[in-house]
């Protein structure tokens, strides 16, 4: 991969909806409390899309900022990938809706479904296309409106999720910089641990699927937790190995923001000090595909990376899937 032209991030943008749902708001909705949520998850609040906002609206706001920061307009794009599990509708894809709104005439556009790992899968896909010479400038977005598929009467899940979007422009960068390695993977056998069963070709929407709450996220939290802790460690070590680097080479660790305890266990296993780890799960909760780009873009906005820094992103999610990347900023 490294013999081809260097490809990296050349623009960033993020967006979260205005409305904030706090832990004390949730105390009024289900049998929970701030102490339980903070101690078990690290989450204090999350942003929730307005009734008239869909995933493409969140993605659009993030995309405009990413284009601006790259000094580009939609017409400079030749590829748009939206990682999401909450598209505006089954089809057309959310990426096609954006292609039109951004004026990216002629750009290829598609959605990518890998849940919380989707953004890293999208980065790997765009990087491969650009390295091969097929495309030059790709918009990669992680965007989700998990509030639309969350059961706000189920305390096991409703405290965990939020809405948001993060976007990057992927393109050619100077020699020595850019993506050095990816490690993507899946364990389909664990698919039923984290799923939304209704509304597809197996279980089309019906009065019965609504009655049985088949259009909401189902999660076996304990099993997903174990998987997450395991793959955060193994994928991180594997992606570093592929890049020929050691854990001490990491300047900034950008993990999927699902639960502070999962992040802390990865930090301990990898022996990473707190100042090298991006944490914003307290403000946004788990935003699925938006989680890693929200953390990456926020870190960039706060000036936490300088040119040449080694940034390691790693995520896990439904599928089950995982994705990790090493990027020289
Ligand atoms: N408030 C109060 N009590 C609660 C709440 C709540 N919101 N939720 C669950 N409880 C109770 C449970 O009912 C249980 O009670 P019981 O022992 O009487 O049955 C008790 O708390 C403990 O429940 P556990 O599930 O054992 O709690 P745990 O410490 O495992 O934490 C959590 C649960 C936070 C869900 C954790 O398992 C976790 O973070 N899992 C991973 C989640 C994750 O990363 N998901 C990724 C999804 S990404 C995607 O692709 C959409």
Query: What's the CATH number where 230 sits?
Result: 3.40.47.10
Which member of 23, 47, 116, 137 is catalytic?
A: 116
What is the rounded average pLDDT of the residues 14-22?
98
- The answer to whether residue 38 is domain-embedded is yes
Q: Quick check: is 241 catalytic?
A: no
Distance CA 142, CA 135 (A): 20
Confidence of residue 143 (pLDDT cuts 50, 70, 90): very high
Confidence of residue 2 (pLDDT cuts 50, 70, 90): low
Query: Ligand 1: distance of its center to the CA of 221 in Å?
Result: 5
Shared-domain flag, residues 213 and 274? yes
What is the rounded average pLDDT of the residues 63-76?
98
Check whether 169 has a pLDDT greater than 80. Answer: yes
Shared-domain flag, residues 207 and 274? yes
- The answer to whether residue 69 is domain-embedded is yes
Question: How many independent structural domains does the chain possess?
Answer: 2
Q: Quick check: is 47 catalytic?
A: no
- The answer to whether residue 1 is domain-embedded is no
pLDDT greater at residue 21 or residue 2: 21
Structure tokens at 298: 């926020």
Shared-domain flag, residues 12 and 37? yes
Nearest CA among 131, 165, 158 for reference residue 57: 165
Q: What share of the chain is helix, strand, coil (3-state, %, to 5)?
A: 40, 25, 35
Task: Identify the bridge partners of residue 145 per DSSP, sorted by sequence position.
Answer: 163
Q: How many CB atoms lie within 10 A of CB 306?
A: 9
What is the rounded average pLDDT of the residues 200-207?
97
Last residue of one domain, picked from the residues 146, 176, 206: 176
Shared-domain flag, residues 221 and 319? yes
Shared-domain flag, residues 168 and 57? yes
- The answer to whether residue 87 is domain-embedded is yes
Q: What is the pLDDT of residues 262-301, one digit of tens each?
A: 999 988 888 899 999 999 999 999 999 999 999 999 999 9
CB under 8 A, 24+ apart: contacts of 209-214: 213/151
Shared-domain flag, residues 139 and 214? no
Confidence of residue 123 (pLDDT cuts 50, 70, 90): very high
What is the rounded average pLDDT of the residues 116-121?
98
Check whether 3 has a pLDDT greater than 90. Answer: no
- The answer to whether residue 2 is domain-embedded is no
What is the rounded average pLDDT of the residues 178-199?
97
Please list, residue by residue across 154-185, b when 16 or more beta carbons sit within 10 angstroms of its beta carbon and e when fewer do: ebebbbbbbbbbbbbbbbebeeebbbbbbbbb
- The answer to whether residue 70 is domain-embedded is yes
Query: Ligand 1: distance of its center to the CA of 41 in Å?
Result: 8
Last residue of one domain, picked from the residues 176, 206, 241: 176
Helices 34-41 and 260-270: crossing angle, nearest 10°? 30
Mutate to test the pocket of ligand 1, among 143, 156, 219 (most ligand atoms within 8 A of CB): 156
Determine which residue's CA is closest to atom 44 belonging to ligand 1.
258
Query: Ligand 1: distance of its center to the CA of 193 in Å?
Result: 13
Q: What confidence score (pLDDT) does residue 215 get? A: 98
Nearest CA among 321, 126, 237, 169 for reference residue 253: 237
Shared-domain flag, residues 233 and 202? yes
Q: What confidence score (pLDDT) does residue 203 get? A: 97
CA 155 to chain centre: 23
Range of the domain at 321: 179-328
Shared-domain flag, residues 165 and 183? no
Contact between 296 and 140 under an 8 Å Cβ cutoff? The reply is no
Q: Quick check: is 136 catalytic?
A: no
Confidence of residue 1 (pLDDT cuts 50, 70, 90): low
- The answer to whether residue 102 is domain-embedded is yes
| Residues near ligand 1 (Cβ within 6 A) | 32, 36-37, 40-41, 115-116, 155-156, 159, 194, 217, 219, 221-222, 224-225, 228, 258-259, 286, 288, 317-318
In percent, the amount of the chain with pLDDT more than 70 equals 99
Last residue of one domain, picked from the residues 176, 191, 215: 176
Shared-domain flag, residues 210 and 159? no
Which member of 23, 137, 259, 286 is catalytic?
A: 286
């Amino acid at each position: 991969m490294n013999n081809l032209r260097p490809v990296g991030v050349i623009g960033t943008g993020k967006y979260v909806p205005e409305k904030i749902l706090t832990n004390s708001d949730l105390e009024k909705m289900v049998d929970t409390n701030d102490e339980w949520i903070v101690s078990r998850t690290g989450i204090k609040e999350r942003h929730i899309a307005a009734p008239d906002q869909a995933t493409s609206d969140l993605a659009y706001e993030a995309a405009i900022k990413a284009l601006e920061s790259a000094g580009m307009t939609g017409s400079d794009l030749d590829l748009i990938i939206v990682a999401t599990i909450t598209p505006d509708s089954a089809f057309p894809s959310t990426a096609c809706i954006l292609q039109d709104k951004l004026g990216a005439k002629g750009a290829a556009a598609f959605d990518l479904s890998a849940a919380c790992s989707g953004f890293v899968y999208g980065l790997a896909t765009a990087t491969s296309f650009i390295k091969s010479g097929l495309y030059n400038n790709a918009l990669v977005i992680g965007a989700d409106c998990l509030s639309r598929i969350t059961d706000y009467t189920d305390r096991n899940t409703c405290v965990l999720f939020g809405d948001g979007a993060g976007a990057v422009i992927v393109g050619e960068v100077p020699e020595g910089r850019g993506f050095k390695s990816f490690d993507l993977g899946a364990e389909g056998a664990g698919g039923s641990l984290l799923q939304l069963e209704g509304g597809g070709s197996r279980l089309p929407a019906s009065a019965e699927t609504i009655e049985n709450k088949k259009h909401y996220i189902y999660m076996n939290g304990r099993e997903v937790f174990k998987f997450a802790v395991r793959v955060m460690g193994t994928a991180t070590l594997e992606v570093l190995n592929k890049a020929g680097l050691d854990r001490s080479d990491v300047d900034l660790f950008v993990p999927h923001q699902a639960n502070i305890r999962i992040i802390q266990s990865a930090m301990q296993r990898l022996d990473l000090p707190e100042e090298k780890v991006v944490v914003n799960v307290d403000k946004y909760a788990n935003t699925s595909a938006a989680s890693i780009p929200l953390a990456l873009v926020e870190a960039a906005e706060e000036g936490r990376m300088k040119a040449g820094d080694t940034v390691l992103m790693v995520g896990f999610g439904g599928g089950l899937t995982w994705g990790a990347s090493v990027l020289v900023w």
